[in-house]
């Protein structure tokens, strides 16, 4: 995995200062810096995960699809559920599953409960890839090992609050 070049300064922090100088404190420079930091961390984590999973010829997106199937009772899900649970467009879900099928990690079969639908079914090779990939991610601390356990819990809670506010998921109190 390639280590990114370490900058001598934080461009996001500098942007917040310049933002406030240009548009004033009322323009929410801290909100901009927070949102930009979240997006940058997502880029860093995704690059790390893709690098770690390359050994099993997976991207993080394909790994997530295999994990979803692993978590299902019978190792299979209707394609509509795959897209919904991965929170991606149905076309993206189909593309993911087709790539996994080409790798021998997933089979697509007709859904016996819905004559028009298709099930994605994880194969033994797919289960082996999930196990190997999961171990690599666990060994790497999922890229958040700079945080304490309590900080990880708090960060999850805060990010979940933003997701609830955007209508992405129901509030945990509503569940």
Provide CB contacts within 8 A for 111, sequence distance 6+: 78, 117, 118, 119
Order of all β-strands in the sheet with 76-78: 76-78, 114-122, 106-111
Question: pLDDT, tens digit, for every residue of 10-68?
Answer: 999 999 999 999 998 888 989 999 999 999 999 999 999 999 999 999 999 999 999 99
Provide the CA 171 distance to its chain's centre, in angstroms. 20
Return the structure tokens found at 10.
């934080």
DSSP, collapsed to helix, strand or coil, labels residue 7 as: coil
Q: Give the residue ranges of DSSP H helices in the chain.
A: 11-23, 29-53, 60-71, 79-86, 90-103, 124-139, 149-165
DSSP, collapsed to helix, strand or coil, labels residue 174 as: coil
Q: Look-up: residue for tokens 């323009």?
A: 27
How many other C-beta atoms are found inside a 10 Å radius of the C-beta of residue 79?
18
Question: pLDDT, tens digit, for every residue of 92-150?
Answer: 999 999 999 999 999 999 998 887 889 999 999 999 999 999 999 999 999 999 999 99
How many other C-beta atoms are found inside a 10 Å radius of the C-beta of residue 174?
7
User: What pTM does this model have?
Assistant: 0.84
CATH number 1.10.10.10 given to 11-164: yes
Question: pLDDT, tens digit, for every residue of 153-164?
Answer: 999 999 999 999
DSSP, collapsed to helix, strand or coil, labels residue 159 as: helix
DSSP 123: -
| Dihedrals phi, psi of 84, to nearest 5 degrees | -65, -50
User: Per-residue pLDDT averaged across 165-170, rounded?
Assistant: 91
pLDDT at 4: 65
Report the relative pairing of strands 106-111 and 114-122 from DSSP bridges: antiparallel
């Amino acid at each position: 995995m390639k280590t990114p070049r370490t900058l001598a300064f934080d461009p996001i922090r500098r942007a917040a200062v310049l933002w406030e100088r240009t548009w004033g404190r009322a323009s929410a420079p801290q909100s901009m810096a927070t949102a930009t930091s979240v997006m940058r961390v997502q880029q860093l984590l995704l690059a790390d995960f893709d690098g770690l999973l390359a050994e099993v010829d997976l991207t993080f997106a394909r790994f997530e699809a295999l994990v979803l199937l692993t978590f299902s009772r019978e190792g299979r899900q209707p394609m509509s559920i795959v897209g919904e649970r991965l929170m991606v467009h149905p076309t993206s879900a189909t593309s993911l599953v087709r790539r996994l099928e080409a790798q021998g990690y997933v089979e697509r079969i007709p859904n016996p409960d819905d004559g028009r639908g298709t099930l994605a079914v994880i194969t033994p090779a797919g289960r082996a890839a999930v196990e190997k990939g999961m171990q690599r991610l666990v060994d790497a601390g999922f890229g958040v090992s700079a945080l304490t356990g309590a900080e990880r819990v708090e960060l999850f809670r805060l990010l979940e609050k933003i997701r609830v506010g955007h209508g992405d998921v129901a509030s945990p109190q509503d569940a």
